[in-house]
Chains A and B, each alone.
Chain A
Amino acid sequence: QSALTQEASVSGTVGQKVTLSCTGNSNNIGSYAVGWYQQISHGAPKTVMFGNSLPSGIPDRFSGSKSGTTGSLTISGLQPEDEGDYYCSTWDYSLSARVVFGGGTKLTVL
């Protein structure tokens, strides 16, 4: 059971806008920035959103936001190469584990 809750799967067609969510509580997402990571074919994670920042080289169709205890990753104009697993993380000051991850969302591009 992950500390952060993500959808198990999300799908969309090419060009569509999709939003992935990451829900926590006041001890984690409610207090700290959220990171988002893309993993394709079980390769190394690639950061697609780092707090409110878009890392260098990441297309601007990726955007992030947070409302209360839920973080969101929006992909506007879905592309075939966006298909993969997406994870979120943040810091949690209430747990002995300092960093918590979501269980991951499998994004399928139809």
Chain B
Amino acid sequence: EVQLVESGGGLVQPGGSLRLSCAASGFIVSSNYISWVRQAPGKGLEWVSVIYPGGDTYYADSVKGRFTISRDNSKNTLFLQMNSLRAEDTAVYYCARDLAGTFAYWGQGTLVTVSS
């Protein structure tokens, strides 16, 4: 059974950093496209970043230069390092298994709140 479990969210001050994790089971992370998608309070879904099986990474303009996606193949886990956080980064962050921009599986999400 495919499962994605996010963790690492919490309250952080503006300008701070946070590292999200996404533990996968039922499939191999390094063989799949995996994306981070976020949803700000009361808003729609917004794509954040993707990592390809070959290791290529891509980011939405809103997070480019501040967020870094990576993975640990030995732990079958995906990460999102978030630096220079802003109030507008407040959202629930989901990891999702990606196939050409469509998502078959989602995690339950982890809430990131950026506030002083």
Q: Which residues in A have some Cβ–Cβ distance to B below 8 Å? A: 2, 28, 32-35, 37, 42, 44-47, 50-51, 55, 87, 89-92, 96-104
Count chain A CB atoms within 10 A of each CB in B35, B39, B100, B102 and give the residue with the most: B102
Q: Which residues in B have some Cβ–Cβ distance to A below 8 Å? A: 35, 37, 39, 44-47, 50, 58, 60-61, 64, 94, 96, 98-109
Alpha-carbon distance between A98 and B99 when the two chains are bound, in angstroms: 11
- Please determine whether B47 and A89 come into contact, CB atoms closer than 8 angstroms: yes
Alpha-carbon distance between A37 and B106 when the two chains are bound, in angstroms: 10
Q: Known contacts being A44-B94, A45-B94, is A100 close to B103, with CB within 8 Å? A: no
- Please determine whether A99 and B98 come into contact, CB atoms closer than 8 angstroms: yes
Kindly list chain B residues whose C-beta atoms are within 8 Å of the C-beta of A103.
44
- Please determine whether A35 and B44 come into contact, CB atoms closer than 8 angstroms: no
- Judged by DSSP, the binding face of A is loop
User: Distance in Å from the Cβ of B88 to the closest Cβ of chain A?
Assistant: 16
User: Distance in Å from the Cβ of B80 to the closest Cβ of chain A?
Assistant: 15
The residue from B39, B44, B61, B101 contacting A99, defined by CB atoms under 8 A apart: B101
Kindly list chain A residues whose C-beta atoms are within 8 Å of the C-beta of B103.
35, 37, 45, 47, 50, 89
Kindly list chain A residues whose C-beta atoms are within 8 Å of the C-beta of B107.
44
User: Distance in Å from the Cβ of B106 to the closest Cβ of chain A?
Assistant: 5
